[in-house]
A = this chain, B = another copy of it.
Amino acid sequence: MSDIAALAAALDGIETSADRALLRLKSRDFYWYSPILKKQLDGKSAELIARPKDEAEVLRILGACRAARVPVTVRGGGTGNYGQCVPLQGGVLLDMTAMAAPLSIADGVVEVECGAKMIDLDLWCRDRGWELKLWPSTKRTATIGGFVAGGGAGVGGIAHGTLRERGNLLGARIATMQDPPRILDLEGDEAAPVNRTYGTTGVMTRIRLPLTPAQDWRDVAIAFPDFVPASRFALALAFADGIPKKMCAVFDSQLPPFFKGIAEAVPAGHALVLAMVAPSALRALRDLAREHGGMVVAEQDTVAAERDGDATPFYEYCWNHTTLQVLKRDRGVTYLQCRFPFEDTLKAVEAVRIPFGDEVWMHTECVRFGGRTTMTALPVVRWTTPERLYEIIAAFEAQGIAIANPHVLTIEEGSNYRRVPGDQLGFKRMADPLGLLNPGKMRDFTIEDAAA
């Protein structure tokens, strides 16, 4: 009997599967947006899927894997773009989607099992008068555990910053890979070591997140004759404290034709801003748009669109959904992630948008980092070679633009400005001394490091 067969036998009573098709499916995420990662990760697969229904089962699985020295890679909705949940060394794929219950809301804090889909969680909170501060464009499929472990930025970032801001993740319960595995309850700053570490520092079972009082939102699409006035408007909106908002994205004129639901509303050759604002702010938004020469071309109720499976909330054109919308019709593109300087932001955007012309289709998102407002970008990039991609990255960096490289596998290489403060490496030595949790993803960890 192989190690894996023995392991499966040891997990009797827990939902497991060794079905080849399912293993292939569950060992993937959206890493294929990157031709570089695609080459590295295609074919990587776990050998067994385990789908625990509670913490006791998680601990049994981790205990059995530890005993057998089998790696464990955690997976939520599989919506990552860095191969976060792709097992590099086989082993067990820990599918958390059976642990998906919202547990409680008290004083504006929700406690939830980590496998809850974010759309379900948000609507559950909304029915109770609250909403999530932040969500990814993949809200309809991403889990909250996956978002904390592998995401952390997105819609809401223009109001609340990213998940790395102190206070945006209030706590987590995790299962460790110690001997024996145990449950830790991390509160406040203590939870930083499991924030955006791809499941390398423990298996999150429950998460505590602060909420914000629920309100209605309006998706608004505003067309501009050119990218520059669109960007000036977007920055003015980002800095307009009198206009409550959760999103403000700018697209150069090449991109709107790929946005199926609204493409026809955008005049040819026009740049586009997509924003999500409070209904009370619509008049102020229109005043501001008029001042910048913009024209409102589409508007809808965001939450109504979310609740309607056939509708598309505008955030599904934003963040990394922009790249996806293009990839649906043109597989020859990839993307970058970057952050522009806080001062002279638009000048830095133009310094790379103009020289790279048709090769880089600019897409920026307004966001707050450390309490200051700037633009990040997820431009769509015409793919030719890795060398050319790295030339483009170097040209961006030469302009003072920070790159969070989405063409690498490790937390350290991909994080850059997205890194969460805290001693993640020290924590991993404690929680996963044998280095069995998603091995290969935390670059700086070596087994010799660990106090095993």
Contacts and interface: CB of A to CB of B under 8 A. Distances in A.
A281 interface: yes
A213 interface: yes
A165 B281 CA distance: 12
Nearest to A244: B212
B279 A108 contact: yes
Contacts of A129: 129
Contacts of A215: 108, 212-213
Contact of A368 (B166, B241, B288): B241
Contacts of A4: none
A249 to B, nearest CB: 17
B372 A161 contact: no
A281 B371 contact: no
Contacts of A243: 166-167
Contact of A239 (B188, B189, B238, B372): B372
B188 A284 contact: yes
A279 B241 contact: no
A281 B210 contact: yes
Given A240-B166, A242-B165, A189 B108 contact: no
Interface residues of A, number: 45
Nearest to A167: B242
Contacts of A214: 213
A444 interface: no
A170 B168 CA distance: 31
A185 interface: no
Interface in A164-195: 165-168, 170-171, 187-189
Nearest to A159: B241
Contacts of A372: 239, 372-373
A286 B284 CA distance: 37
A211 interface: yes
B166 A279 contact: no
Contacts of A357: none
Contacts of A216: 107-108
Of the listed residues A168, A239, A280, the one surrounded by the most CB atoms of chain B closer than 10 A to its CB is A280
A242 B210 contact: yes
A264 interface: no
A278 interface: yes
A281 B167 contact: yes
A283 interface: yes
Given A107-B279, A214-B213, A242 B284 contact: no
Contacts of A371: 238-241, 373
Which of A166, A210, A214, A285 has the most B CB atoms < 10 Å from its CB?
A166
A241 B160 contact: yes
Given A242-B160, A371-B240, A166 B280 contact: no
A355 interface: no
Interface in A118-176: 129, 159-161, 165-168, 170-171
Interface string A227-270: 00000000000111111100000000000000000000000000
Contacts of A170: 280, 283-284
A309 interface: no
Identify the 8 closest CB pairs spanning chains A and B, nearest first.
A239-B371, A167-B242, A213-B213, A161-B241, A167-B284, A165-B242, A108-B280, A210-B280
Given A108-B216, A241-B371, 11 more contacts: A107-B280, A166-B240, A166-B284, A168-B241, A170-B284, A210-B280, A210-B281, A211-B280, A213-B213, A213-B215, A372-B373
